[in-house]
Amino acid sequence: MKRRRVLFIRLSQFRVLLRKALVVLVFLSALLVMMLSKADSRLLNKISNSVSGILNPIVRVLQIPAQIVYAAYDGVRDVVFVYQENKLLKQQNIDLLMLKNQVRTLKMENRLLGRMLHYTPPPEASFVTAKIIAEEGDAFSHSVIAYTRNSDNVKKGQVVLGSESVIGRVDNVNGPYVRILLFTDINSKIPVLVERSRVRGVLSGDNTMVPKLLFTALNADIKEGDIIVTSGVAGVFPVGLPVGVVSKISADAIEVETITDIERLEYVKIVDYGVYDGVLEINNTLEN
């Protein structure tokens, strides 16, 4: 009990001393404020400038790490923004390229279809436009597969026209799909004549892009550049449909270059001329 009492007395004395010290500190603070208010402002400015001159370099040094961190953060943010923007631009570029290709394809198709619209079949004839979807060109045959939305009027043996000339005939029909035997096929034999001199012959395919003109006289009036058209013999093709141009004459063969570029076929017309009696004359059926 005695020890606790002594400790309590000491704490009481410490509190008294602390109160007295606070009173003295407040008094000194008030005195310092009064002295500063009466002191010379120039002296205060000098002291302030001196303190600022000492503290400013220290503050600047302390700001360097913060500036470095902020610059690094700003740089990373810019890199992320550029990456995201670059990714977006790449996707937009891909979309634009796809759209460009689609527009180019549509323009080509419209051009081809526009050229084919120049052909006007005679009143007794009708036609179906078909799109080439596959080729069967090999060492044994030259044919293509075309697609028609409605093949009810398409039959075997009908004439097939390209953008500028005859290219062959329908060989087989299977629903909306049609197999077209090109006149470059080795099995193709078309009765033709030379438009200028009216010399008759047979255009025979040999599975190359240059069919041959056969069964003509040795002294026949045929020159390079002559246009070859269908003769209408045997009633397979009407008279006067353009087929090709004589490109080379030699002792072995007369080569005929096709007017329509068969290697670039995209659309064709399958024409039904109805019952053909061998007298029908068709001139200038195709135009550029």
283: pLDDT confidence band, cut at 50, 70 and 90? Answer: very low
Residue 281 has pLDDT above 60, yes or no: no
- Tell me the domain boundaries of the chain: 41-117, 126-272
142: tokens are 């030259």
CA–CA distance, 277 with 190 (Å, rounded to integer): 17
Q: What is the pLDDT of residues 250-275, one digit of tens each?
A: 888 899 998 888 888 888 988 887 64
For residue range 208-239, what is the model confidence (pLDDT) as tens digits? 889 999 999 888 899 999 999 988 887 778 88
DSSP code, position 236? S
Other C-beta atoms within 10 Å of 276: how many?
17
Six-digit token string for 243:
């087929």
Helix (H) or strand (E) holding 204: strand 200-204
The mean pLDDT of the chain is 76
Residue type, 175: G
Instruction: Give CATH for domain 126-272.
Output: 2.40.10.350
Residues whose CB is less than 8 angstroms from the CB of residue 110 and which lie 6 or more positions away in sequence, other chains included? none
Confidence band of 286 (pLDDT split at 50, 70, 90): very low
